[in-house]
Structure 1
Amino acid sequence: MEKGGSGHTVEYVPEHRKEGRRRMANPGPMGLFSFAATTFLLSLFNLHTRDIQTPNVIIGMAIFAGGLVQLLAGMWEVPNGNVFGATAFASYGAFWMSYATIFIPSSGVIASFNGNMDEFNQAIGLYLMVWFMITLMFIPPVLKKNIAFVVLLSCLSLALLMLSIGAFNGMPSVNKAGGVFGVITGLVAFYIGVAQMLAAERTAIIHLPLGVLSED
């Protein structure tokens, strides 16, 4: 401790501790890759890629990659002071874990509908519509800062909207449209994740633009 000019006690912070604070790792790429991989894979299933009709392989991915890893990324954004990152990653982590739970047989969620799949589809449609609304709320905070995130959240919004409408109306073509927007969302998230990793590396030989409009 040292006495400041005004007589107040000032805490002495060693240089190595200051450097440690400056070099706190950015958890964004980790969260983005987990989000991208899970979204991309489920969207391929929604498009029936390789003639896959049953998408339950996504359950493990949704729990651990899309869910747990994103939740951790959100919590690690808190000490970085990134309110948007903490809120978005934690929210989508919760989304993926809750989505996976619906399709785990032992959860009993699907069984509780007693084979009434029309009612189940209406419920899933409402579930996806709520997340469409949440995603829309994430767009205003990034409108004047980052074009890449605006594109990402816009594509995700369209994917969730299409999937919700497809569940309500039982229209395979609309579900496939949601799958297409989901694939685009995953690719954009991969791009942003790579860009953030390159930006964090002093030895990176290239940097990818994110369309940053303001540093404020």
Structure 2
Amino acid sequence: MSENNGIVTSVLKESTGNPAPLGLLGFGMTTVLLNLHNAGLIEMSAMILAMGIFYGGLAQVIAGIMEWKKNNTFAGTAFISYGMFWGTFVAIKLFPVLGWAEAPTGKALAAYLFMWGLFTFVMFIGTLRISRALQVVFGTLTVLFMLLAIGDFTGNHALINIAGYEGIFCGFSAIYTGLAQVINEVNGRVILPLGEVKK
């Protein structure tokens, strides 16, 4: 706090933690679990839907709001958007069961996934100025959405299974990126590299 010509001014110090690991882990862990299903390794169940609502959805939205308050437009947009993706995904699964809406056709799901793939591709371009780790996350996520869109459009279940394995890799890349930020911050130095881009 300082006084200048009788006017008292104060400077607020940023005292909140880094919300990015929360968002990345919420996204990554939920993505791995859903894509274990897409790969044909586990059944769709309440476990995946619950992760989608709470960790993939709610936790990412919270992280996004925190990033927004830190003036990080990229992370705020990404986490809030993908948090809402999980919300819409769960709604797509539950609304038909509850009798609130018809189940989407394969072509409707393809359109949904294509739009998310397009959004992710543009966000990937943004990662070219941030880090190699995020480039892997957003690059593989773009491929995942497009593979799933093509699989749903054509009804090719083998392609959806392939997309599942690619999605497992995508999810683990996000988990690595989130945990690396935590480990590096705790140790005060780079333990797990993220490939920060020099600006």
TM-score (structure 2 length as normaliser): 0.91
Q: Return the match for 1:73 from 63, 68, 73.
A: 63
Segments of 5+ residues of structure 1 without an aligned counterpart are 114-118
User: How far does the alpha carbon of each residue in 1:130-165 deviate from its partner, in whole angstroms, 9 at most, with x for none?
Assistant: 000010110121203211111110100111100110
Identity %: 33
For residues 183 and 55 of structure 2, the distance between their equivalents in structure 1, rounded to whole angstroms, comes to: 21
Q: 1:197: which partner in 2?
A: 182
Aligned residue number for residue 7 of structure 2: 9
Letter in 2 for 1:131: W
Q: Distance in 2 between matches of 1:203 and 1:107?
A: 52
Report the CA distance between 1:181 and its aligned residue: 1.4
Structure 1 or 2, whichever has the larger Rg, is 1
Structure 1 segment 1-216 matched on structure 2, within 5 A: 2-4=2-4, 7=5, 9-13=7-11, 18=13, 21=14, 23-49=15-41, 52-55=42-45, 57-104=47-94, 105-106=97-98, 108-109=100-101, 112-113=102-103, 120-202=105-187, 207-214=191-198, 216=199
For the aligned residue pairs, the C-alpha RMSD in angstroms reads 2.0
1:8 Cα deviation from its structure 2 partner = 7.4
After superposition, the Cα gap between the structure-2 partners of 1:107 and 1:200, relative to the gap in structure 1 and judged at 3 Å, is: farther
Q: Is the 1:3–1:9 Cα contact (8 Å) retained in structure 2?
A: yes
Go from structure 1 to structure 2 and tell me whether the alpha carbon gap of 1:12 and 1:90 turns closer, same or farther (over 3 Å shift). Answer: closer
In the comparison of the two structures, how many residue pairs are matched? Answer: 197
Higher relative contact order (CA closer than 8 Å, sequence separation 6+)? 2
Q: Which runs of 4+ in 1 moved over 6 A?
A: none
